[in-house]
């Protein structure tokens, strides 16, 4: 069966566990997720599946995935903009790479709002991720008042442009961008498929303006914000949406597996 991709981009469903599950609970969830996907004969080449646990779980998740040759990818939820040194409490991208992480979330709205991360910090973290061969999942998204004012597109375009300042095309081609409207995160209030498409298309156009060649076609854009098995298929049906960044629903193996199997809801082979 030929791969069903949009312009050759492999869809990615990533579970951001946030500050949930200790390392023992993490191994239980990863095993259940693997069993469920295996049972459904999920094709990981067709739709990539990644888990993003807390730092303290990563070693256990790596051991399980490597030891049992599971096809799940994994990554972290943040990294330091620095590589080493006197940065108490911070984690270097070098350490994450050594643990076999593929992905690292950068600029999640919870980091921007709770920890005061600016676009300048996010930009430094994107560069740090690429220095260590990690793929950043760069998050952008507008607060409710910006959406109500109808200013969401210039807002997220501004974030993306600032967050990519000085990042070369060869790196951007590997980038994953997550559009996560803040008002949709953990609220049950999901953006419409058209809202997600409008945002992801505008972000892709921004990359096309900033970088020549086919870089914009290679970047994967995810939607995040109250994604569930019941709404994922209609969002994934949109041309510029290449995946989902899932929070709460990724903590339930059955529900997350059903999200990963969104093509079954679309009547497509997955």
Which structure tokens are listed for 266? 């679309």
Which residue of this chain has its Cβ atom nearest to ligand G3H in the complex? 247
Closest separation between CB of residue 265 and ligand G3H, Å?
A: 17
Cβ atoms of residues 138 and 106 within 8 Å = yes
Contacts to ligand G3H from residues 179-238, by CB under 6 A: 180, 185-186, 224-227
Closest separation between CB of residue 147 and ligand G3H, Å?
A: 15
Catalytic residue among 48, 108, 110, 142: 108
245 binds ligand G3H (CB under 6 A): yes
Q: How far is CA 91 from CA 55, 56, 100, 245, in A?
A: 9, 11, 14, 22
For residue 88, how many other CB atoms are within 10 A of its CB? 4
Annotated catalytic, 23?
no
229 is in an annotated binding site: no
Cβ atoms of residues 257 and 47 within 8 Å = no
Task: Show the site string, 5-44: x = touches ligand G3H by CB under 6 A, - = not.
Answer: -----------x----------------------------
Which structure tokens are listed for 61? 């998740």
18 is in an annotated binding site: yes
248 is in an annotated binding site: yes
Q: What is the DSSP letter of 6?
A: B
Annotated catalytic, 180?
yes
247 binds ligand G3H (CB under 6 A): yes
What residue ranges in the chain does DSSP mark as E strands?
12-16, 48-52, 73-76, 103-106, 135-140, 176-179, 220-224, 243-246
CA 14 to chain centre: 5
Closest separation between CB of residue 166 and ligand G3H, Å?
A: 26
Contacts to ligand G3H from residues 136-175, by CB under 6 A: none
Interstrand relation of 48-52 and 243-246 (parallel, antiparallel or unpaired): unpaired
Residues engaged in binding ligand G3H (CB under 6 A)? 16, 108, 180, 185-186, 224-227, 245-249
Residue numbers annotated as active site: 108, 180
Binding-site residues from annotation? 16-18, 186, 226, 247-248
Binding-site residues from annotation for substrate? 16-18, 186, 226, 247-248
């Amino acid at each position: 069966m030929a791969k069903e991709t949009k312009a050759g981009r492999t869809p990615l469903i990533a579970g951001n566990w946030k500050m949930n599950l200790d390392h023992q609970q993490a191994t239980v969830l990863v095993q259940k997720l693997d069993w469920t996907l295996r049972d459904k004969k999920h094709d990981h080449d067709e739709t990539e599946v990644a888990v993003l646990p807390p730092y303290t779980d990563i070693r256990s998740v790596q051991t399980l995935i490597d030891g049992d040759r599971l096809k799940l990818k994994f990554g972290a939820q943040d990294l330091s903009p620095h590589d080493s040194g006197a940065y108490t409490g911070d984690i270097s991208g070098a350490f994450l790479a050594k643990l076999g992480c593929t992905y690292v979330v950068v600029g999640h709205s919870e980091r921007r709002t709770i920890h005061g991360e600016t676009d300048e910090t996010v930009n430094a973290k994107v560069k740090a991720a690429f220095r260590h061969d990690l793929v950043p999942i760069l998050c952008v998204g507008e607060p409710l008042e910006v959406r109500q004012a109808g200013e969401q597109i210039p807002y997220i375009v501004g974030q993306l442009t600032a967050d990519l300042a000085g990042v070369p095309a060869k790196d951007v081609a590997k980038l994953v961008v997550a559009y996560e409207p803040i008002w949709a995160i953990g609220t049950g209030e999901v953006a419409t498929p058209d809202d997600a498409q409008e945002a992801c298309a505008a972000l892709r156009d921004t990359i096309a303006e900033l970088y020549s060649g086919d870089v914009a076609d290679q970047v994967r854009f995810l939607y995040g914000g109250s994604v569930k098995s019941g709404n994922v298929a209609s969002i994934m049906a949109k041309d510029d949406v290449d995946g989902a960044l899932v929070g709460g629903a990724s903590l339930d193996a059955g529900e997350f597996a059903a999200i990963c199997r969104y093509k079954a809801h679309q009547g497509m082979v997955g």
